[in-house]
A and B are shown apart, each in its own frame.
Chain A
Amino acid sequence: MKKIIERLYLILILIFMYAPIVTLIVLSFNSSKSRARWGGFTLKWYTRLFSDTAVASALFNTLSIAILATIFSTIIGTITCIAMVGLSPKLRSLIMGVTNIPMINADIVTGISLMLLFRFLHIGSGFATILLAHITFNIPFVMLSVMPRIKSMNFYVYEAALDLGATPVVAFVKTILPDLVPGIVSGALMAFTMSLDDFIITYFTKGSGFETLSTLIYNEVKRGIQPEIYALSAIIFIVVLALLLIIYRAPNTKTKEK
């Protein structure tokens, strides 16, 4: 009996979470523009979506900002975490305290504060400002996932490598870096998804005329939803589902091999 109730509960929550998404996907094939009537199956919203240059450029902007922000924030975040080992405890806790600010603060305040900075410095809004903003809010996520690895690190192997004649760089790459890789990878993944999903900070730092997917959708919604957006949702959902299946498959097969 308990099992049945538990199952039922899981299913109900899953329905709550997925029924809306399924509805969107169904509507993306609805040839009637009305959401209340089924007008027959069509792929025209998909063809319209693919010929829409605004969507294509917003998608390009979103992806390139996310990729660049991930690369920069991962490098800066990882180097800073490594440097933390050699810093005084006081400076270390000061740095961590400041790093926590963007994570704790509301996105709207972070967005506004960066907007004020960019206006003050007369940096033209657009690609560069969004990229700077994204690197800023991504670094804490990278540091958060690399830092625990650094803390639990054993430096004796590194010292042994030095004693055995390795140069510091070689010793670092061979002994310390491999231990950090899982933290770096999960930090980078986190940064990438945060960047892709961000709306609020992008909204305040983008300026006019430059759109990412999030800001484009927000503008569209204010004007009235076009069915192309449903097609876009369906594609994004399928891509996310596929990517997650791939990511979650990979470590599972590894542990089985062991």
Chain B
Amino acid sequence: MKLFKNNKTAPLLASPYIAWALIFILVPLAMVIYYGVTNASGSFTFDNIAMITEPGYLKALGRSVLLAFISTLVCFILAYPLGMILSSMKLARNTYLVTLFILPMWMNFLLRTLTWMTLLEGKGVINTVLEFMHLPPIHIINTSGAIVLGMVYNFLPFMILPIYNSLSRIDDNIINAARDLGADSLQTFLRITLPLSVPGIISGITMVFIPALTTFAISTMLGGSKILLIGNIIEQQFTQVYDWHLGSGLSIVLMIFILINMIIERLADTEGGVLG
């Protein structure tokens, strides 16, 4: 590998990005941590982080974790069979089909959420249709259910894509070999297909769980600003209350949750690797 004859060329080429990452990734993150562990007079404190134990905030965090968990689970349950069906189809046709399933991803995120506002409203499209069919109206707008629906609708493609990718990479010969050796479909699935698709499942879970955990737009639009998630609380600290210290402290809590999530996934990944 002698791309660079001079020893200084590579560091020189990398230096703009190193400077960029320092200024726009590391320094800002350090600022969040600095604000999180200081108070308005600049002295060190853990009060901002400890504020998460306030009942209102704790409730918002608990609700965020719960709703993100349910949404991730629903996305997984919907996406896995879909990934299996898509990966078992003939190649020429399924590029179009897969595109069809991830196409809503390219629609603006807020427009996708807005769609469900229109559908679920008290006098929205769904209730009008229900009324027309003489069925009782549903009232799920401004409930946690509507937020979960919005999360699933928005983030489903993020689950479909990695699962489909990992399933379609499985060599048919391995499956055939398992069949030849006498495994039935369930055994083949549990011992071959599922373990081999673990990397896809894990990246799908990350891509759904973290945005769902930290969203504030979906809960504002579909929860009618009555149901607050931890994202809403943090957003308010920066755009309405202007308490940057508290907002940063709560952001640190959020980052701790993201870290825990990553560690759990890493562990699951190595276990999957052992199984596979």
Contacts and interface: CB of A to CB of B under 8 A. Distances in A.
Interface of A: 6, 9-10, 13-14, 16-18, 20-21, 23-24, 27, 34-37, 76-77, 79-80, 82-87, 91, 95, 98-99, 101-102, 104-110, 112-117, 120, 132-133, 135-136, 139, 155, 158-159, 168, 172, 176, 193, 196-197, 199-200, 204, 213-214, 217-218, 221-222, 225, 229-230, 232-233, 236-237, 240-241, 244, 248, 252
B57 to A, nearest CB: 15
Interface of B: 1-5, 7, 9-14, 16-18, 20-21, 23-29, 31-32, 35, 78, 81-82, 85-86, 95-97, 99-101, 103-112, 114-119, 121, 123-125, 127-128, 153, 156, 206, 210-211, 213-217, 220-221, 231, 234-235, 238, 244, 247-248, 251, 254-255, 258, 262
Contacts of B96: 248
Nearest to B24: A136
A interface: dominant SS = helix
B11 A83 contact: yes
Contacts of A139: 17, 20
A218 B32 contact: no
A197 B109 contact: yes
B31 A244 contact: no
Nearest to B1: A155
A112 B248 contact: yes
Contacts of B112: 20
A102 B128 CA distance: 43
Q: Which of B3, B27, B128, B234 has the most CB of A within 10 A?
A: B3
Nearest to B244: A116
B254 A23 contact: no
Contacts of A236: 107-108, 111
A9 B85 contact: yes
Q: Which of B14, B85, B125 has the most CB of A within 10 A?
A: B14
Contacts of A107: 211, 214
B24 A116 contact: no
Nearest to A19: B119
12 contacts: A6-B85, A37-B128, A79-B13, A85-B3, A104-B210, A107-B211, A113-B28, A114-B24, A116-B28, A116-B248, A200-B216, A252-B95
Contact of B258 (A36, A76, A106): A106
Given A10-B82, A82-B13, A112-B234, A221 B221 contact: yes
A120 B191 CA distance: 54
A42 to B, nearest CB: 17
Given A10-B82, A24-B115, A155 B2 contact: yes
A108 B123 CA distance: 32
A21 B104 contact: yes
Contacts of A83: 9-14, 17
B125 A218 contact: no
Q: Which 4 A-B pairs have the closest CB atoms?
A: A86-B10, A113-B28, A83-B13, A106-B214
Contacts of B104: 17-18, 21
A35 B248 contact: no
A178 B35 CA distance: 46
Given A24-B118, A99-B21, A214-B109, A112 B258 contact: no
A23 B3 contact: no
Nearest to A120: B31
A221 B117 contact: yes
Contacts of A102: 25
A84 B118 contact: no
A84 B71 CA distance: 38
Nearest to B216: A108
Given A23-B115, A76-B20, A115-B238, 8 more contacts: A35-B123, A86-B3, A102-B25, A104-B210, A104-B262, A109-B251, A116-B248, A155-B3
